[in-house]
Amino acid sequence: MYTEHASFRRATLGAGGHKGRRSFVAGLVTAGWVASGAAAWAQEGAPPAKAGGADAAQAQKDSKDSKASEPVTPTLGPPTPGPSETEKELVEAQKKAIDAQKALEATQADLKASLEALAAELGAEREQRAEEVVALQEKLAKAQAALKKPPVSTAQPGVALTGYVQADWRIWGQSSEDQINPSTLAPVNEERFMIRRARLKTTIDREYVAGALEFDGNTVNGTTARIVNAEASFKLPGEEGSPVPLLMASIGLFKIPFGFELLQSDRDRVFLERSTAEQALFPGEYDLGARLSGGWRFVRYAVAVMNGDPLGEKAYPGRDPNAAKDIVGRLGVETPIVDTVSVAAGFSGLTGKGFHRGTPATKSVIQWSDRNEDGIFTSDEIAAVPGSAATPSQNFSRFAWGADLNLQVTIPDIGVATAYGELYYAKNLDRAKVVADPLGPLGRDARELGFYVAGLFEFQKIATVGVRYDTYNPDRDSTNPTKPLIPTDLSYGTLSVVAVVGTPMARLQLEYDHNTNHSGRDLMGRPANLKDDTLIVRGQVAF
Amino acid sequence: MRSASLFALLVALPVGMAAGCGGAAPQSGITAWLRVSNGQYEPGALSIDPGMMEPTVDTITTHNNHVFPGATGRSITGSVNGKAVAVMIGLDGDSGHWLVPVGVPDFDITGNFTFAASVSYSPDLPIGTRKLQFRGIDVDGNLGPIQSLALSVGITSPQGNLVVQLDWDTEADLDLHLRIDPPDPAAKPIDVWNRAPLALPPAPNGGTYSQMDTKAAGRLQFDSNANCVIDGQRHEEVVFPMAVPPGTYEVRVDTFSLCGEATARWHVAAFTNPAGTPTLIQEAFGQSQDRDTLAAHDATSGVLAFSFTQP
């Protein structure tokens, strides 16, 4: 029996190979061996009922062994005296030993079956693990290959490459017409496909140094490629986990730190364009200068010294015709109120000098005008106009104040609701819409006022709907009777409704804009609203 | 090595600064009331200290001492003592003055030299009388006594019983359109614009007007920056030198082309000025945008600035 257990144990060990399993099997075998040994001991070691001593016990044992090993044959003849008590006990013990033997064999069979099942299970597990190892090796090989040849290589660590494309289809433009502007020869039609923005940005963000370089391509006025953001920064990191540095000093071309929507990323903004007031006061959003910015806990700040000629300005975009610089900044807070509500708010200000362009000198000229339309020159049909000296360029003061508020409420399992708005109050700052110049023919300051309010609801980060109303008055004094401006009401207004499917990484936007203005003419030639509603669909993909 | 660089910097800095201190003033002089095309501008009013007895400015010659703001190309010549190397010219009250080198020897005054200057006057020159001052300066920088020429600065507003004037600020092509609607409902309105510059109805029976008629009629004087041929005038006016037709006058500003400019701010006014003293009837201001150029540019095109009635 021991030999049988030993051979089984060897077989198990040979088939195994895993140390744990081997120990387990060895344990089972040992337990089986101990159990069988105990049974054998119970069979062999049962004490004699009446033992006279060690010799008697030995004799009794020898006798039992010999009898147990010999078959019992019935004998004929005179009845023999019945078995003695000792013999009866021996028979009884023998029966018990046989029963114990059978029980032991049964136990052995069970153990064997269990071991075989265990072996089968271990084999299956081994095969599964082998397959997993192969799969992991394949993944490792792929990862190593990817590390050997990264998609974009950089000279320094901490470099990121991002970008996005915004492709528009202006489905409907009420003021579009299949004509050209006779003055500029530019097409009047705006119902077209257009790449509104195609941005590629590289940033580096290390512990004490940061930088950005961004290029923009678009087809707004034909194919254009230009630089929009290039800045070098030195910074002091903020507290652990803070999204902004404690202090960052930057120089270069960056967004003017004024208000909320101006600094909001074009990629994240749900509405296709910024409000009219922003487009008039800060056209192009980017300007050249130096900036200090940062934050501490919930406080956010930025102050910059800038040229004052943003990239979208009509007169000198990206240049600076005067030595005076604009000083602009924002101070605000950004913090959650409770778990589901957060608020961001701030005040902004700007002060600087605008530029009134001088005019060159002219020469004296004469002009013939065929007044009586007879095609013949007569002396009274000429006009002589003397030349004029050049007029010098001059600077004028301008400023702006702004306030912004953004409230965001997270509704669990449904989405996020956002309400926000902004107010602009400025003097002589319009640089794109109705360009302010108090030193021009008007001869007085232009006081601008604009605001917008907007609401957004984002469903499960999949779909967003929003509505925004903005208005802008480039000259609040246009009704001044001593300096009447034509038209007397210069306000622009836009009501925008937008629906978005997707996230900023990939989304489809549909926006309807109802625009009011004063670009049309009534029957008398007076300024009137020009119908200019638009319907635009935009596809955006970012990486 | 590092200390050597620092030393070089310390040496170069004052040398550079000294070099920057020398030479002529960098300003163009365009902010001054007086501009001299062949002179060097020097900031600061012309000194009025007594100076030396020589070099003297002996003669000053000009064709016309009545000037108007913005007048250009006015010639001033003269003769200066032989010791002078240049003549300083300035206008009293001005922010700067000019240095004009002397020219060839003066054959009229033995030993003297001539000087000649082509001067312009700023459009911002105040109205009134002013003194044009001259001082000779010798090679050692000594200034001679002041010589003055009195100037009369006047305005050049067009005179007439009715003037409608448009002016604007950039080199765009804007046009003044005037429509006169006679009181008689049967009469046709008269359009005055660059293609019909005379304020006269069509001549009866297909005839033509006499020169006397056309001279007496109101007319558009000039079409400035026509077709973006830039003349720099940036103003147009309709002048009625004599009789003003009764009726309702509609004044329009038509933006023919911005000529590449971003915008054009304009001012239009109607006034009477029969004797050089303008009396305003009405005025308006506006700003032309790109969209304004899309009109048909006919007689009644343009934004209506204002209207008024003449009895």
Are residues B222 and A519, on separate chains, in Cβ contact within 8 Å?
A: no
d(CA B303, CA A521): 7
Alpha-carbon gap: A383 to the closest alpha carbon of chain B (Å): 6
In a domain, A55, yes or no: no
Q: A–B: how many Cβ contacts below 8 A?
A: 159
Strand-pair category, B147-153 with B66-67: parallel
Q: What is the phi/psi pair of residue A122, to 5°?
A: -60, -35
- Interchain pair A374, B208: CB under 8 A: yes
Chain B 89-128, CB below 8 Å of chain A: which residues?
Answer: 120-124
The reply to whether residue A369 touches residue B262, judged by beta carbons under 8 angstroms, is no
Q: Which residues of A touch B35 (CB under 8 A)?
A: 389-390
Check whether A135 has a pLDDT greater than 80.
yes
- By the 10 Å C-beta count (0-12 exposed, 13-18 middle, 19+ buried), A337 is classed as exposed
A233-237, B3-7, B186-190: the lowest-pLDDT one = B3-7
CB contact under 8 Å between B284 and A484, yes or no, is yes
Q: CB of B166 within 8 Å of any CB in chain A?
A: no
* DSSP 8-state secondary structure symbol assigned to residue A130: H
Partner residue opposite A183 with nearest CB, options B208, B258, B300: B258
CATH fit for domain B25-153, picks 3.90.920.20, 2.40.30.10, 2.60.40.650, 3.40.50.2000: 2.60.40.650
Bridge partners for B248 per DSSP: B181, B309
Q: Is the pLDDT of residue B251 over 90?
A: yes
A314 and A452 both lie in a single domain = yes
Q: Are residues A24 and A173 in the same domain?
A: no
Report whether pLDDT(A473) > 90. yes
Cβ neighbours of residue A152 closer than 8 Å, sequence gap 6 or more: A161
d(CA A18, CA A122): 10
Single out the residue of A427, A424, A353 nearest to residue A393, CA to CA: A353
Report the DSSP pairing between strands A382-385 and A365-368: antiparallel
For A138, B85, B103, B105, the CA distances from B108, given in Å and listed in that order, are 107, 18, 14, 9
What number is the average pLDDT over the span A52-76?
47
Closest CA to A266 of A474, A532, A507: A507
Task: Measure in Å the smallest separation between the Cα of A321 and chain B Cα atoms.
Answer: 15
A200, A389, A394, A507, B288 from A438: Cα distances, Å:
39, 21, 10, 44, 16
Contact A525 B256 (CB under 8 A): no
Q: At what angle do helices A85-148 and A2-15 cross, to 10 degrees?
A: 10
Structure confidence by residue, pLDDT tens digits, B146-189: 988 998 888 767 888 999 999 998 889 999 999 999 998 888 89
Residue B262 pLDDT: 84
- Looking at residue A367, what is its pLDDT? 80
Name the minimum distance, in Å, from the CA of A323 to any CA of chain B: 14
Residue A53 has pLDDT above 60, yes or no: no
Residues of A in contact with B167 (CB under 8 A): 441
List chain A residues with CB under 8 Å of B211.
Answer: 378, 380
Q: Do A441 and B267 touch (CB under 8 A)?
A: yes
| Mutation target vs A (from B124, B177, B287, B301; most A CBs, 10 A cutoff) | B287
pLDDT digits (tens, 9 = 90+) for B195-223: 888 888 877 777 777 777 877 888 898 88
Is residue A95 located within the same domain as residue A191?
A: no
Q: Which residue has the tokens 């060839």?
A: B104
Segments making up each domain of chain B, as ranges: 25-153, 160-310
Mean of the pLDDT values across residues A264-279? 96
Instruction: Name the packing angle between helices A19-44 and A85-148 (round to 10°).
Output: 180
pLDDT recorded at residue B5: 55
Do residues B63 and B71 lie in contact, with contact meaning Cβ atoms separated by under 8 Å? no
CB atoms closer than 10 angstroms to residue A60: 17
ipTM of the complex: 0.79
Which amino acid is residue A51, in one-letter code?
Answer: A
* A5-39 per-residue burial string, b: 16 or more CB within 10 A, e: under 16: beebbeebeeebeeeebbebbeebbeebbeebeeb
Max mean pLDDT among A132-136, B8-12, B208-212 falls in A132-136
Kindly state whether B290 is in contact with chain A, defined as any CB-CB distance less than 8 angstroms.
yes
Contact across the interface for B121 and A389, Cβ inside 8 Å: yes
Interchain pair A371, B198: CB under 8 A: yes
Flag if B265 and A364 touch (Cβ within 8 Å).
no
Q: What is the CATH number of the domain that holds A240?
A: 2.40.160.10
Range scoring the smallest mean pLDDT among A190-204, A315-329, A492-506, B229-243:
B229-243
Residue of B nearest to A367 (CA): B222
Alpha carbon B9 to chain centroid distance? 49
A188 has a pLDDT exceeding 80:
yes
**Among residues A405, A410, A448, A412, which one has the least CA distance to residue A429?**
A448
Q: Are residues A214 and A323 in the same domain?
A: yes
Give the long-range contacts of residues A104-107, CB within 8 A, separation 24 or more: A104/A35, A104/A36, A104/A39, A107/A32, A107/A35
Who contacts A96 (Cβ-Cβ below 8 Å, separation ≥6)? A43, A46
Rounded percentage of chain B residues whose pLDDT exceeds 70:
92
Residue A46 located in a structural domain:
no
Closest chain A residue by Cα to residue B287:
A434
Highest mean pLDDT among A492-496, B60-64, B75-79, B296-300: A492-496
B98 contacts in chain A (CB < 8 Å): none
Residues A331 and A363 in one domain: no
Between CA B303 and CA A520 the distance in angstroms is 9
**A69 pLDDT exceeds 70?**
no
Residue of chain B whose alpha carbon sits nearest to that of A393: B31
Residue A227 C-alpha, separation from nearest chain B C-alpha, in angstroms: 22
Closest chain B residue by Cα to residue A484? B284
What's the CA gap between A271 and B4, in Å, rounded? 60
| Structural domain includes residue A63 | no
Domain endpoint, select from A392, A416, A449: A392
B263 reaches A (C-beta below 8 A): yes
- Whether residue A221 is found in the same domain as residue A117: no
| Tokens, residue A37 | 């040994």
Distant-in-sequence, close-in-space partners of A155: CB < 8 Å, separation ≥ 6? none
**Do A437 and B265 make contact, defined as CB atoms within 8 angstroms?**
yes
Q: What is the least distance, in Å, from the CA of A266 to any CA of chain B?
A: 26
Tell if the CB–CB gap between B70 and A519 is shorter than 8 Å.
no
In a domain, A165, yes or no: yes
For residues A158 and B262, what is the distance between their CA atoms, to the nearest angstrom? 43
Looking at the structure, do residues A97 and A230 belong to the same domain, yes or no? no
The span from the CA of B309 to the CA of B307, in Å, is 7
In the predicted structure, residue A393 carries a pLDDT above the cut 80: yes
> Which B-chain residues 4-43 have CB contacts (< 8 A) with chain A?
30-31, 35
By 3-state DSSP, what share of chain A in percent is helix, strand and coil, each rounded to 5? 25, 40, 35
Residue in A with minimal Cα distance to B122: A389
Query: Cα(A345)–Cα(B73) distance, rounded to whole angstroms?
Result: 59
Of B232, B256, B289, the CB nearest to A360: B232
Cα→Cα distances A54→A57, A59, B238, Å: 5, 9, 156
Residue A352 to residue A94: CA distance in whole angstroms: 118
Among B233, B125, B217, CA closest to B174:
B233
- CA–CA distance, A316 with A310 (Å, rounded to integer): 8
Instruction: Tell me the nearest-neighbour CA distance from A392 into chain B, angstroms.
Output: 5
Chain B residues whose beta carbon lies within 8 Å of the beta carbon of residue A314 = 262-263
pLDDT of residue B1: 45
* pTM score, whole prediction: 0.75
Residues 6+ apart with CB under 8 A from A532: A173, A174, A175, A515, A517, A519
Could you tell me if residue A154 is inside a domain?
Answer: no
Question: How many helices, marked H, and strands, marked E, lie in chain B?
Answer: 2, 19
Answer yes or no: do A197 and A326 share one domain.
yes
At residue A450, the pLDDT reads 97
Residues A122 and A258 in one domain: no
Looking at residue A5, its pLDDT comes to 45
Among A288, A282, A321, CA closest to A307: A288
Regarding whether A364 and A353 lie in a shared domain, the answer is no
Residue with tokens 């070089």: B8
CA gap B144, B88 in Å, rounded: 10
CA atoms in the 13 A half-sphere facing the CB of A229: 19
Tens digits of residue pLDDT in A6-31: 444 444 444 444 444 444 444 554 55
A383 and A401 share one domain = no
For residue B190, which of B240, B136, B133, B249 has the smallest C-alpha distance? Answer: B249
User: Residue A362's closest chain B neighbor by CA?
Assistant: B232
Taking an 8 Å cut-off on Cβ atoms, the answer to whether A387 and B232 are in contact is: yes
The residue in chain A having the minimum alpha-carbon distance to the alpha carbon of residue B251 is A525
- For residue A532, pLDDT over 70 is answered with yes
In this prediction, residue B7 carries a pLDDT of 55
Whole-Å CA distances, B106 to A210, A320, B78, B89, B115: 71, 48, 9, 19, 9
Question: Between residues B4 and A200, which one has the greater pLDDT?
Answer: A200
Which residues of chain A make contact with B70, given a CB cutoff of 8 A? 388-389
A441 contact residues in B (CB cutoff 8 A): 167-169, 265-267, 285
B71 neighbourhood in chain A, CB within 8 Å: 386, 388-389
Domain boundary at A367, A392, A417, which? Answer: A392
Tokens, residue A11: 């077989």
Higher-scoring residue by pLDDT: A55, B56: B56
Which residues, at least 6 apart from A103, have a Cβ–Cβ distance to it below 8 Å? A39
Number of domains in chain A: 3
User: Model confidence over A319-351: pLDDT tens digits?
Assistant: 999 999 999 999 999 999 999 999 999 999 999
Give the type of residue at B8.
Answer: A
Asked if B175 is an interface residue toward chain A (Cβ–Cβ < 8 A), one would say: no
Please work out, in degrees rounded to the nearest 5, the angle formed at the alpha carbon of residue B304 by the alpha carbons of B300 and B307: 100
Min Cα distance B9 → chain A (Å) is 26
**Encoding tokens for residue A384?**
């002589």
B2/A contact by beta carbon, under 8 A: no
Residues of B in contact with A486 (CB under 8 A): 253, 284-286, 303-305
Q: Is the pLDDT of residue B8 over 60?
A: no
Q: From CA A280, how far away is CA A490, in angstroms rounded? A: 13
Contact between A387 and B72 using a beta-carbon 8 Å cutoff: yes
State the best of A177, A279, A388, A529 to mutate against chain B, taking most chain B CBs within 10 Å.
Answer: A388
Q: Distance of alpha carbon A139 from its chain centroid, rounded?
A: 26
Tokens of A435: 């360009």
Domain limits at A35?
Answer: 1-41+88-149
Instruction: Give B-chain residues touching A367 at CB under 8 angstroms.
Output: 222-223, 226
Paired residues of B42 in beta bridges: B97
User: At residue A151, does pLDDT exceed 80?
Assistant: no
**Chain A residues with CB-CB distance to B178 below 8 A:** none
Tell me the pLDDT band of B21, cut-offs 50, 70 and 90.
low
For the cut 50, the answer to whether the pLDDT of residue A45 exceeds it is no
Q: Which residues lie below 8 Å from residue B135, measured CB to CB, with a gap of 6+?
A: B46, B47, B51, B57, B87, B88, B143, B144, B145, B146, B147
If phi > 0 it is left, if psi is from -120 to 50 it is alpha, else beta; for residue B86 that is: beta
Residue A391 predicted with pLDDT over 80 = yes
Spell A179-200 as b/e; 16+ CB within 10 A means b. Answer: eebebeeeebebbeebbbbbbb
Residue A320, min C-alpha distance to chain B (Å): 17
- For residue A390 the two structure tokens come to 């050049």
Residue A82 belongs to some domain of the structure = no
Give the bridge partners for B287, in sequence order: B265
Distance separating alpha carbons of residues A60 and A152, to the nearest angstrom: 94
What are the distances in angstroms from CA B37 to CA A58, B74, B152? Answer: 149, 10, 21
Residue A54 located in a structural domain: no
- Report if residue A65 sits inside a domain: no
- B260 vs A136: CA distance, rounded Å: 66
**B308 Cα distance to chain centroid:** 30
A-interface mutation test, from B33, B265, B289, B301, most A Cβ less than 10 A away: B265
In this predicted structure, what is the pLDDT of residue A52?
Answer: 41
CB A402 within 8 A of CB A377: no
Q: What are phi and psi of A228, to 5 degrees?
A: -120, -25
Residues of A in contact with B290 (CB under 8 A): 181, 183-184
Query: Residue A352: is its pLDDT beyond 50?
Result: yes
Edge to edge, what strands does the sheet with B147-153 contain?
B40-43, B96-101, B84-91, B128-138, B147-153, B66-67
**Do residues A303 and A436 both lie within one domain?**
yes
In this predicted structure, the answer to whether residue B112 has a pLDDT above a threshold of 60 is: yes
